Every structure is written in C-alpha cells, then in structure tokens.
C-alpha cells in the first residue's frame, strides 16, 4: 500500500514539474500577489469582452495586457485609426484602468 502511494506521488510530481517550470517563466510572474494578478486578469478580460461585443473588425489582432498598477497596454494591429481610437476608448472606460498605453499600428488590408 505504501509503495503504491509513494509511486503515485512521484509520478504526479514528475508530471507536474514541467508545468511549474513553465509558470515560473511566465511574463506575468512579476505580480506582487495572487490577488493583484486576479484583478489584472479581470480588467484584461473585461476589455477583451467589450472589444468583442463592439465587433471591431480588427479585435482579434489586438493584444491586451494589464500590469499590477492598472496600466493597460494595447498592442497589435488594427484596420483603421477609428478602430484604434475605439479600442483605446473601450480600455479607458473599464473600471480599474489607471491609464492606457497605445502601441497599436494601423495596417491596411493586403
């Protein structure tokens, strides 16, 4: 019985090790606490949901990231300056956003 328990524990630990290593190299690992990380994720999710709701043609090409101070970074591409302006306005309108860094580029259809 003990051998099965030890073997199972070792197997689970061995399988979880790559996940722990991946989590340690995640770009979001600099969050000060789990609570801050969840708050940042909620802000990011709200912005993404509002972008999708507005049906911006270029919403799928817009990356949203929120840091622990509530600063939202928008990056990627948009089809027009109007889409860029709309994305920035949406981000600024979400509760908890301190400021928005606009790194979006306008790229015409090819």
The string of pLDDT tens digits covering residues 24-70 is 444 444 455 555 545 678 888 998 888 888 776 666 688 999 988 88
Q: In 10 A of CB 106, how many CB atoms?
A: 13
Q: Is the pTM of this model over 0.85?
A: no
Average pLDDT over residues 87-99: 92
Do β-strands 62-66 and 71-78 pair in parallel, antiparallel, or remain unpaired? antiparallel
Q: Which CATH architecture has domain 29-106?
A: 2-Layer Sandwich (3.30)
Mind listing the pLDDT tens digit for each residue in 2-13?
Answer: 676 656 655 555
Contact, 77 vs 84, CB < 8 A?
Answer: no
pLDDT at 73 over 90: yes
Residues β-bridged to residue 35: none
CB hemisphere CA count around 19 (13 angstroms):
5
Each domain of the chain, given as residue ranges in start order, spans 29-106
């Amino acid at each position: 019985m003990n051998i099965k328990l030890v073997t199972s524990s070792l197997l689970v630990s061995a399988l979880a090790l790559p996940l722990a290593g991946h989590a340690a190299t995640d770009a979001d690992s600099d969050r000060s606490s789990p609570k801050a990380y969840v708050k940042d994720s909620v802000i990011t999710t709200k912005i993404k949901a509002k972008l999708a709701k507005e049906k911006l043609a270029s919403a799928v090409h817009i990356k949203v990231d929120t840091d622990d101070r509530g600063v939202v970074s928008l990056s990627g591409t948009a089809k027009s300056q109007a889409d860029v302006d709309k994305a920035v306005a949406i981000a600024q309108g979400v509760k908890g956003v301190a400021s928005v860094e606009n790194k979006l580029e306008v790229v015409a259809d090819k």
